[in-house]
Amino acid sequence: MREPVLVPRLQPFTSTIFAEMTALAVRHEAVNLGQGFPDTDGPAGMLDAAKNALFGGANQYPPSPGRPELRAAIARHRLRYGVEYDPGTEILVTAGATEAIAASLIALTQAGDEVIVIEPYYDSYAAAVAMAGAERRVVGLVERDGRFALDVEGLRAAVTDRTRAILVNSPHNPTGTVFTRAELEAVAALCVKHDLIAITDEVYEHLVFDDAEHFPLATLPGMRDRTVSISSAGKTFNCTGWKIGWVCASPELVAAVKAAKQFITFVSGGPLQPAVAHALDHELPWAEELRTSLQGKRDRLAAGLAEAGFAVRPTAGTYFICVDVRPLGFADAAELAWELPERVGVAAVPVKVFTDHPDEWKHLLRFAFCKRNEVIDEAVSRLRKLR
């Protein structure tokens, strides 16, 4: 066989930090605050609905755009932001937000196109842009006024005549930044001016803290019909293994994304779809409790990390908190991340693995706080030994 067998455009993506860190965490019986998944279940009503669907015969292919009751529930849910989508032509159910992002990029961008990606970025973005054959152009967040802010000037400078799309993730993983209306207005102005498609990753839309508010980019003037709005049930309802996501967009954009999606998975999660429809219609109060509880966990972990000697960065949403490791005498958070499981029995993820500019981000380490309080407390008591 010819070597290497993997095509060059995918060669940078052979291993993920999560697999490596999780293996290390298991080897050293470490508390794993690396990967972001909750350690408790979602709402009982949703799990019951899934069980009923599973035993009620919903086990064959659902319709290719997704089950009608789920598309209707997604449309009702999206109305909370004041945007109306036709469940018949403007909503597509996908195998998680991950497939929605990949299918959107594959359908809407190609070789010769540039996609603007904001750094640090969720790890699937770079791989999905590569699968589409397009090129990523990276614009970094900047630390300003005590938060990670959008570099609007940098964003403007990144647009070229080859720019086709911009990928916007807010609430933002890994920094926990929630873009302000003003920041999103700047993105919208650029999209309108240069006729760009926006692809938004809003999987943490319900998980915002304090007075932060989530604004879908599609709600801004000129954006509804050029935005592919993506979300998913995983983070909102503690069911990250279900992989039920969705796309809301104009009929033209949804038809395009569907053209790719139908030959990637065709459909997925048949019996889970009615359960997610139930959750969107009836379990938002549960999601609100999750939000409050996560805000408390954020405060709990932030206080513990500060006591352990890290410089804690603020986080306004998501599952994650970033800390600067330099006050503890480390120059590179990746070095610390590799040592941490063996040295004190905790796993975390260095932020630089989510970037194209590792030097600029090497002082930051990401911890997940979507865990039971006893797990957070155990991690904190172990991390105190670092000093």
Ligand X SMILES: *Cc1c(COP(=O)(O)O)cnc(C)c1O
Q: Which residues bind ligand X (CB under 6 A)?
A: 96-98, 122, 169, 173, 201, 203, 232, 234-235, 240, 243, 245
Which residue, 345 or 350, is less far from ligand X as judged by CB? Answer: 350
Lookup: tokens for 64: 């290719």
Which residue, 364 or 383, is less far from ligand X as judged by CB? Answer: 364
Lookup: tokens for 160: 């070229």
Cβ distance 130 to 10 under 8 Å? yes
Q: For residue 254, give Cα distances in angstroms to 81, 153, 258, 303.
A: 19, 31, 6, 44
**Closest residue by beta carbon to ligand X:** 96
Which residue, 204 or 330, is less far from ligand X as judged by CB? Answer: 204
Helix (H, G, I), strand (E, B) or coil at 20: helix
Which residue, 173 or 177, is less far from ligand X as judged by CB? Answer: 173
* CA gap 343, 383 in Å, rounded: 9
Which residue, 348 or 380, is less far from ligand X as judged by CB? Answer: 348
Lookup: tokens for 291: 């939000």
* CA gap 247, 128 in Å, rounded: 16
Specify the pairing of strand 91-95 against strand 244-248: antiparallel
Q: How many CB atoms lie within 10 A of CB 207?
A: 24
Which residue, 46 or 386, is less far from ligand X as judged by CB? Answer: 46
In the complex, the smallest distance separating the C-beta of residue 118 from ligand X, rounded to whole angstroms, is 11
Which residue, 151 or 201, is less far from ligand X as judged by CB? Answer: 201
Which residue, 19 or 157, is less far from ligand X as judged by CB? Answer: 19
In the complex, the smallest distance separating the C-beta of residue 168 from ligand X, rounded to whole angstroms, is 11
Q: Which amino acid is at 68?
A: P
Residue 351 φ then ψ, to 5°: -65, -30
In the complex, the smallest distance separating the C-beta of residue 173 from ligand X, rounded to whole angstroms, is 4
In the complex, the smallest distance separating the C-beta of residue 261 from ligand X, rounded to whole angstroms, is 13
In the complex, the smallest distance separating the C-beta of residue 174 from ligand X, rounded to whole angstroms, is 8
In the complex, the smallest distance separating the C-beta of residue 124 from ligand X, rounded to whole angstroms, is 7
In the complex, the smallest distance separating the C-beta of residue 172 from ligand X, rounded to whole angstroms, is 7
In whole angstroms, what separates CA 180 from the centre of its chain?
17
Which residue, 123 or 360, is less far from ligand X as judged by CB? Answer: 123
Helix (H, G, I), strand (E, B) or coil at 31: strand
In the complex, the smallest distance separating the C-beta of residue 234 from ligand X, rounded to whole angstroms, is 4
In the complex, the smallest distance separating the C-beta of residue 202 from ligand X, rounded to whole angstroms, is 9
Q: Which amino acid is at 131?
A: M
- What residues pair up with 32 in beta bridges, in sequence order? 347
Specify the pairing of strand 364-368 against strand 349-350: antiparallel
Helix (H, G, I), strand (E, B) or coil at 139: strand
Lookup: tokens for 97: 């937000």
Q: How many CB atoms lie within 10 A of CB 347?
A: 26
Lookup: tokens for 131: 């699968």
Region class of 294: left (phi > 0), else alpha (psi between -120 and 50), else beta:
alpha
